[in-house]
Structure 1
Amino acid sequence: MPETFAFRIQRALTLLAVAGLVVGVVLWALDQPAALALTAFVVLGIVIAVTAVEMVRDLMEGHWGLDILAMIAMGATLAVGEYVAGLIIAVMLTGGEAVEAWAARQASRELDTLLNRAPAYAMRITPGSGEVVQIPVEEVEVGDALLVRSSEILPVDGVLLSERAVIDESSVTGEPVPVTYDAGAALLSGTMNGTATFTMRATRTAGESQYATIVQLVEAAVSSRAPMVRLADRYAVPFTAVSLLIAGIAWWLSGDPVRFAEVLVVATPCPLLIAAPVAFMGGMSSAAKLNVIIKEGGALETLAGVRSVAFDKTGTLTQGRPTVSRIEPGARSAEDVLRLAAAAEQYSVHVFAAPVVEAAHGRQLDLPTVLEAEEMATNGVLAVLGNGEQVRVGKPAFVEEVVGALARPTLEAGETAVYVAVDDELAGVIVLSDPVREHARHTIERLRSFGASEFVLVTGDVAPTARSVADGIGITTVHAETTPQGKVDVVASLQPRPVMMVGDGINDAPVLAAADVGIAMAGRGATAASESASAVVTSDDLSRVADVVEVSRGTVKIALQSIWMGIVISIGLMMVAAFGHLPAVAGALLQEVVDLLAILSALRALSLHRRLRRTEVTTAALAH
């Protein structure tokens, strides 16, 4: 059934129940029992029939629903003549879903804002004439020159052609201060231009750009159904059994079938149905406000119970923007080492390739001609130069295949060595520096305080570099020079569970998917890691990993509190009704109050991000 049609049916059912209750109360006040009975049988008959269809559909999908109690309660009120109470239950049941939808919309408001900000058009500069034409963003092609006017959203990813631009990136990266870029800088779609018009060249189509990827993640998040909701469904069997047992005993001891109906009237399970989904939508909204997109609700429950954490190194624990810090020459001069390495690294997509090439261009070195080049996955690049020389650039093991055992240079924290060989001799070593992220140690300390006990660094980098980073931030276990499959094996063997993996690169995609919950750092561009992770940090801030765990813990806590509050109050009211002290109509009205309390309790998850921001402000103030 299409969603819009289903919504119309639900709305009509709610209006029918409300109208039936109003008419029923009037007929009851006018002492018209026959008309009241007819109204109740018609209205409740329709509500029971529609609810039964939905319940059967849920059962066919493997979900045991709690609506059966409400159906039994409505049937019991018809049987014993408590028509007004039955109509109140019908309003509560049909209206409960309407209230849940409203609460979910409130909770997902931040996600909707992100979706609504998606760029719709672009201003393309026509080659030759220079004419500016507005086109749908889907028609932008790689290489198009685009004009971005004051306060416009950047339509696609690209590079800056103008001399300078000031960009507000807060909606994508979370950085509150506008960033100034110079010509040639990479720009992200979804960010907003400042006051000066500039031109840019598209490097990606709209569908491949950063913002489109984030929007896809949000859409997946909004449409997901959290296991916590299914957990609430699993309360159906024991709650239904307890409710029927109390109602049956009350009937048996009193000999009055009305007592059975009075108990079931207050046993209707709307708090259990509403509390969990509202709390989880609130938690996902709080995470979004902290620049973390949780792709599916089930990740919240897993994140709340994380006990082991594995980190990638480059771009995750380090800033991911390495620079050449020094060159240690071997058989060739430092200048030759850089020139040869840059020639080969032009053909690599590894994070260390770009800074090597940039360093060579910065020194205005002429690069030799490359006849062919091949990137050897996770090892390095093998290139054949125009003069016939073979150049290897990459890990020590890759270079040792042709030059024999190597002496490893001493590295400081955040430094990485790239080895360069020409034919069968070591040309030299290029040392790059990639500083550790500012909040890395504090993030690990927070995760430890949340219950995580095992921390490991899993990286394809060499052992000395990995160990220097791990020692600096308090990680004792290091797995270095691992392949993508090796990372999967390490994470699969980690104990205790569940295991969270945090990474950012293309080679992290398999392990992010294999972990119990994966978090991708995608602050400066989407990768395959974003697609396979359960959650994506869209700002360039590692501390958000600890933030989302804290939000998840708070969300699950609120969901369980709301569920158990509904259960305890309902059982208390059932016991009062079992002893004949709670008439059916009064019980039905009290149950409405319980529903409202459950919703209000669950909506507390909307404010979880505020507590974290208050903590950040306090911490910053103390630091100064």
Structure 2
Amino acid sequence: MPQLQQYPEAIAPLYTLLDTTAGITHVRINRAARSLIIGYQPQTITDRQIAASIAQFCQSLSPEPTTCAIPGSPRVAPALTNSSAANGLITLVGDALDSLWLPVLAASLGGLSRVPRLAMLHQVARLVLVVTALPIAQRAVQSVVQQRRLNIDCLDFLALSLSMAQGKVITPAMVIVLHELGDTIREQTARSTEVRTADLMDAIGHFAWVKRDKDQPPEQVPSDRVQIGDTVVVYPGEQIPVDGTVLRGEATIDQQGLTGEAMPVVRGSGTGVLASTLVRSGKLEICAERVGAQTRAAVSIELLKKAPVHDTRMANYAEAIADRLILPSLLLAALILITTRDPARAAAILTLDFVTGIRVSMPTAFLGALNHTTRHGILVRSGRTLEQLAEVDTIVFDKTGTLTQGLITVAKIEVVNGSLSEERLLQLAAAAEQRLTHPVAEAIVDCAQQRGLTIPTRSQWSYEVGLGVTAEVEGQEVWVGSARFLEQSGVDWGHVFGDWPQNKNNHGADSQSRGQEIYVACDRQFQGVLHYTDPLRAESDRLIHTLQEQYGIEVY
């Protein structure tokens, strides 16, 4: 399949599409070899049906990198990604090229003019330098005429004039390069969040599957054409494009990008769902109640865009120092010019504004910090926000995904029937849960792999959203899921600890530390419990202690 190499972003939706198809037992995709290996049950699905699904997938691939035009294709995640930082860097480079190419050209021509055969380039370099210095001259004149005050542009203009009067090109060109670079970086820190919030608009999705007629399949339409009251169909791996109420179906939804909650939630008929959240498994038909700019995700983005952006206090402080040093610098430069008759020395005083380092380094530092926070999923509005962190006296932590790892792990395995060991119980559970995309299923499989256990192959299996999975493993019928799921399946609880689901809270005093439970039964006999939890980050205790003891910050 050459499409695997041509459209790498389509690998994940293709895997999801095939893995959730009834009758397919396993899927292996090798992008480097451009190969696809599928295991399936001939009595459930034929090779022609699989080939037809793959052919339809390939035909509907969209050249647009943010989406694939098929049911089950993922939209761009609402969480911030490295592309935001990349876009910011591209914008910064573009702005820098716009403002720096003329002074760099002047400096280059000035350097080449030192070659005897290219001496004629010196006049061209001076002409380019004059054009480059015009904006500085305009700002200096406006400051004197309109504002009746001297600013840093006045010093720069005088320094450039003295240097150019001596026939120098490289020195004044480099002065302009430094100043323009500092201004460009500073402007970028002020508007960097605009680039990032624009990327967030992809969270709502570019397309939606709308069902206009009950007897017709859903059709794909642009998200901005979805109307209130439309029935929107969302498949596994897709972002929900609207806020609304579920009409039919049940699905596991990942809301972490919008609410920060690490654990997926189950939504079914009559429950509300939000745009930009991700359907991990299941299928939903949703009645659209808020669309486009009315959705909660879009409102959040708009609030971020409208939030005021302020220059950093350090940058403003540097400008204030520069303004106060203008008059002394002019007087000192005039004194040196009178006493030495050397314009170069006077120009050196005017160029040395004592805050050039701050003008360049401070915006650079803040821009680096903003990009760093973005790469770690934190959206900071401006450099001024970072400065205000020094004034914070209270921090409120939302435990899930903040103080915790946001990654489900198996904390304890509890066998309630001596016929199975912990390892065998884990093997059976991992075999039933393998290739499911639910975080708990992934945690069980990871736990088995970390213990070096061989995970048996499951044959027939059935997954019920929000409840659990039934699978045939090595001739045994295995149930893994909630207590309600096992009860509905007719599992016998009574032979172990009485009625386990009702008495489990009394079974151990450390039930809270063990987290939540998922139950395992084999051949309709209850066999054990897997306790899973979202563990604390290793640095959480030290972080809270440091905030309280060293910085005197109240933590809740």
TM-score (norm 1): 0.42
- The structure, 1 or 2, with the larger RCO (C-alpha pairs under 8 Å, 6+ apart) is 1
**Bigger fraction of residues in helix:** 1
TM-score (norm 2): 0.47
